[in-house]
Structure 1
Amino acid sequence: MKLSLSVLLLGSSQVLGLELQKPIKAAQVPSSVISSASDSNAPAYRDDLVSLHKSLVEISSISGNENEVGKFLVDYLSARDFVVQLEVLPPTNTSNPGKPRFNVLAWPGPNRHPSPKVLVSSHIDTVPPFIPYSRTDADPTADTVIAGRGSVDAKASVAAQIIALQSLLESGRIVGKEDSVMLLYVVGEETSGDGMRFFSDTRSQLSPPPDFKAAIFGEPTEGRLVCGHKGIFSCNITVKGHAGHSGYPWLGKSATEVLARGLVRVLDTDLGSSEEFGNTTVNIGLFEGGVAANVIPERATARLAVRVAVGPEIGGEKIVAQRLQDVMRSVDEDAFEFDCNSGYGVVKCDCDVEGFETTTVNYGTDVHYLQGNHTRYLYGPGTIFVAHGPDEAIKLGDLETAVEDFKKLILHALES
């Protein structure tokens, strides 16, 4: 059968051609990634799953430089008779010059299906630094541990989703419904969510625009279906003081002292909590100020990441941001300047699917950025506790379980 490939250029006038730390050791793998999966009944797709996951992890795709892994997915899906379209994002300061960033859209072939009912999606970017692929066994078993950057977050979900859909197609379990499923793999989730936001903003350019009834998002959830996750916003804080000789502190105003006192008060205050999501947490990611040890600091800055535990989804972050500012101004009414970037409150997902354990998570996802009135599912293999760290790794048995679970979710979404 002739393979089909079309290229959709959104935000770019150039046609995109198709030619377009230290490795982890087995002993370093945390016990949290070890499961009791049995190898007695290896699935028929094991080799394909291992191969696809390996290829994805071997390609460095740190946010802003996702071009190579995107091209790999284009080739992989096209060779399996998927119709593939590329959605090219406008260049950004983090982009690699000469290498466009693009989302990968795909439908089971041979024709593009304009009105899919179910979207299956994850992200192809990772956090830095790149960690090479490795695994504990040359001949994989369910107990094989696979390591490398993205092996969990979120290339495990990407590989499991693709193999799950292929398995459903090959088994004939979605005969007559092939045109109801669409794959979407986006860039930039780990930074600003610009890939999903761009897709959401521009999908009207697809003809006709897709009107999804359900979307299945892949993230590391330890194989549980997520009922919701915390919201998030970032805040840049500047304090203006008055410089002077450190021997006479009453003659100046220490910006670092004011900022430190304000931050401590914030950390000691409940900015918003709920029974389902716990308490709002604040991470002081950056703190800078002053010019010398014997000079009263005239200026100090901090950058915060705030995980929001209250709603509503649209506006919950503003409630917490205002509380944070009020608390800090109670230390000094005039010294603070705030630049709290837009975010969102708690995000609710559907978790009423038979056969799944459920949970809530503290991290952000692309779920919020896909606008529309659709059911939202969040699920994936691996644990967030090793994602973003030097010991990122997953068991093959957990990957295989995810394939079966994604099949269940796709079937459930199609039948709902």
Structure 2
Amino acid sequence: MKNLSALLFSCSFGAVAVRAQSTPSYRDKLLSFHKSIVEIPSISGTEPAVGNFLIDYLTEQGLATERQFLPSSNRFNVLAWPQPRASNRSRIVVTTHMDVVPPYFSYSRSGPEPPTAETVIAGRGTSDAKGSVAAQTLAVLELLAAGSVSGDDVMLVFVVGEEVNGDGMIHFSNVMAQRGTRPNVAIFGEPTNSTLACGHKGGMACNVFAKGRSGHSGYPASGKSANEVLMRALVKVIDADLGNSEVYGNTTVNVGLMAGGVAPNVIPAAANASLAIRVALGPQANGHLIVRDRLQEVLTSVDAEAFTLECPFGFGVVETNCDVEGFETDIMAYGTDIPRLQGNHTRYLYGPGDILRAHTADESITVGELESAVEGYKKLILHAIEPAKSKKPKKPKRC
């Protein structure tokens, strides 16, 4: 999905999108860095190569760096901050993920050359989320060169595993809690069409197991088809109202995986399906539990004995701060690492690229979108450095 408001409503709070100057001085540096990281495959679970490149690059730029290894793994988060730093923490964390979804496809560029704002860059991760990696990095380097930030102000955090189970952000959050170095502000990078998100839907992962009874396919009454009962239930689940809200719209269900049966001429005794559910109910801590209970009710209404439902992970809608002048605002329909970073910090969600093109064979971004995001991240960082001038978070509302 692109974002919820693009499908349900249009909402602009009288702001204008942040735009880069016509030809910023950092264009070549930004595009070279972006190309380098996109050309390194980093499908979830295979991030070390791009992580090592980032460590080398950020070190060359004069930043202090840390490989934050996950337990019993060769995978690691990349941390970087300007030197010197008076303490062992930075007040603002600027973060996104360096893993991408499969399949990998290579970097390419089309349109005007030498590149202009209209030049299109394609490849896996160009938008989600290596566009944010590149724009966040250049934003911090530009602010550092201008003397506007220090290591006490800001650090970059590029995590692994966001596209699968969020293990990178979970580990980072745990380490920050153990060290007593939780940030005051976290700026998360994801494709938002360079709008500032006021929040995003919650998420829940569920597995549905259907139990039947095997038999000869020529005699349907001799068994009970787990495939059939599962299909009937899933159709009813998709059509059901599992929960909705004025701001976040409807809870939606994607049946991502299905399996069942052993042979075409055998009545299947077992079947299962894996669901990705976008939760439109709050609060963040338990809004998904309401959806889970309604999902169970639908399954039971189809067959009171056939189903086992397991939902090992979930959260309700996630609110983020969007009260910053100069940004258009929106609501996103996807999930992020935001709820995995624990603590009482101000949260922002912003980034270049169109989520409708992410996760597709047409994933791409324009040079102008990347440059606009550099300026947007600079603006957010500077806004976060001056909390006295900040206003209270604006709650998302339907226009």
Tell me if both proteins adopt one fold, taking TM over 0.5 as the criterion.
yes
**Cα distance in 1 between the residues matched to 2:33 and 2:264:** 54
Distance 2:230 2:83 in 1: 58
Q: For residues 223 and 391 of structure 1, what CA distance do their matches in structure 2 show?
A: 19
What's the counterpart of residue 343 of structure 1? Answer: 314
The whole-number CA distance in structure 1 between the counterparts of 2:186 and 2:107 is: 30
One-letter amino acid of the structure 2 residue matched with residue 157 of structure 1: S
Distance 2:32 2:193 in 1: 22
Deviation at residue 341 of structure 1 after TM alignment: 1.5
Residue pair 1:351, 1:358 contacting (<8 A) in 2 also: yes
- Secondary structure of 1:50's partner? helix
Q: Give the SS at the match of 2:302.
A: coil
- CA RMSD in angstroms, aligned pairs only: 1.8
Pairs within 5 Å for 1:96-245: 100-111=74-85, 113-136=87-110, 137-174=112-149, 177-206=150-179, 209-245=180-216
**How far apart are 1:317 and its partner, in Å?**
1.3
Contact map agreement 2:140 2:378 (CA 8 A) in 1: yes
The one-letter amino acid of 2:106's match is: P
Q: Distance in 2 between matches of 1:289 and 1:102?
A: 37
User: What CA distance in whole angstroms lies between the structure 2 residues aligned with 1:411 and 1:172?
Assistant: 12
Measured in 2, the distance between the counterparts of 1:118 and 1:284 equals 38
Out of 70, 83, 89, the residue aligned to residue 89 of structure 1 is 70
What's the offset of the Cα at 1:90?
Answer: 2.3
After TM superposition, give the deviation of residue 143 of structure 1 in Å: 1.3
Query: 1-side partners of 2:383 and 2:85: how far apart?
Result: 24
Q: Aligned equivalents of 1:165 and 1:42: distance in 2?
A: 19
Given the alignment, which residue of 289, 305, 314 partners 1:318?
289
- Aligned match of 2:59: 78
The partner residue of 2:38 within 57, 66, 70 is 57
- Do the aligned partners of 1:37 and 1:142 also contact (CA within 8 Å) in 2? no
Looking at structure 1, the residues matched to 162 and 98 of structure 2 have their Cα atoms a distance apart, in angstroms, of 8
Amino acid at match of 2:211: K
CA separation of 1:291/1:115 partners in 2, compared to 1, >3 Å: closer, same or farther?
closer
Q: How many residues align?
A: 370
Whole-angstrom distance in 1 between the partners of 2:32 and 2:93? 24
What is the CA distance between 1:83 and its match in structure 2? 0.7
Kept in 2, the 8 Å contact 1:39–1:143? The answer is no
Residues 37, 398 of structure 1: 8 Å contact kept: no
Distance in 2 separating the partners of 1:294 and 1:78: 62
- What SS is found at the alignment partner of 2:237? helix
Q: Percent identity?
A: 56
Relative contact order (C-alpha < 8 Å, sep 6+): which is higher? Answer: 2
1:41 CA displacement? 3.0
Q: Secondary structure of 1:256's partner?
A: helix
Q: Which runs of 5+ in 2 are unaligned?
A: 1-16, 388-399
The match for 2:336 among 357, 365, 376 is: 365
The answer to whether the 8 A contact 2:19-2:371 is kept is no
Q: Aligned equivalents of 1:37 and 1:135: distance in 2?
A: 24
- Residues 1:238 and 1:376: Cα distance change in structure 2 (over 3 Å): same
Return the letter of the residue paired with 2:62.
D
How far apart are residue 296 of structure 1 and its match? 2.0
Mapping 1:252-267, distance limit 5 Å: 252-267=223-238
Runs (4 or more) in structure 1 with deviation over 4 Å come to 36-40
Q: Which moved more, 1:241-250 or 1:357-366?
A: 241-250
Deviation of 1:39 after TM superposition, in Å, equals: 9.7
Q: Which amino acid aligns with 2:50?
A: V
Deviation of the 1:170 alpha carbon: 1.1
Write the distance in 2 (CA, Å) between the matches of 1:310 and 1:40: 40
Distance in 2 separating the partners of 1:223 and 1:312: 26
How far did 1:86 drift? 1.3
